[in-house]
Amino acid sequence: MFGSLSEQVEVKVPAEKAWDLYGSIKLGDIAAKHILERLDVIEGDGGVGTVIKITFKPGSGISYYKEKYTMIDNDNMVRETEIVEGGYLDFGFTLYRVRIEVKDNPNDKTGVSCIVKMTIEYEVKEEAADNASLVTIEPFVVLMKFANEHLLKVEVKVSADKAWQLYGTIKLGEIAAKHTLECMEVIEGDGGVGTVIKVTFKPESRVSYCKEKFTMIDNDKMVREVEIIEGGYLDFGYTLYRIRIEVKDNANDKTGASCVVKMTIEYEVKEEAAGNASLVTIEPFVVLMKYTQTNIS
What number of CA atoms fall less than 13 Å from residue 155's CA on the CB side?
Answer: 9
Dump pLDDT digits (tens) for 75-115. 999 999 999 999 999 999 999 999 999 999 888 777 777 89
Exposed (0-12), middle (13-18) or buried (19+): which is 156, by Cβ within 10 Å? buried
Mean pLDDT of 134-141: 85
Question: Which of 33-47, 51-65, 201-215, 275-289 has the least mean pLDDT?
Answer: 275-289
Rounded alpha-carbon distances, angstroms, from residue 151 to 29, 177, 282: 13, 24, 10
SS3 191: coil
Longest dimension (CA), the chain: 72
When pLDDT is averaged across residues 24-30 and rounded to a whole number, the result is 85
pTM of the model: 0.59
More confident residue, 227 or 16: 227
Inform me whether the pLDDT recorded for 286 exceeds 80: no
% of the chain at pLDDT higher than 90? 48
User: Which of 61-65, 184-188, 236-240, 275-279 is predicted least confidently?
Assistant: 275-279
Amino acid code (one letter) for 152: L
Report residue 152's pLDDT band, with 50, 70 and 90 as the boundaries: low
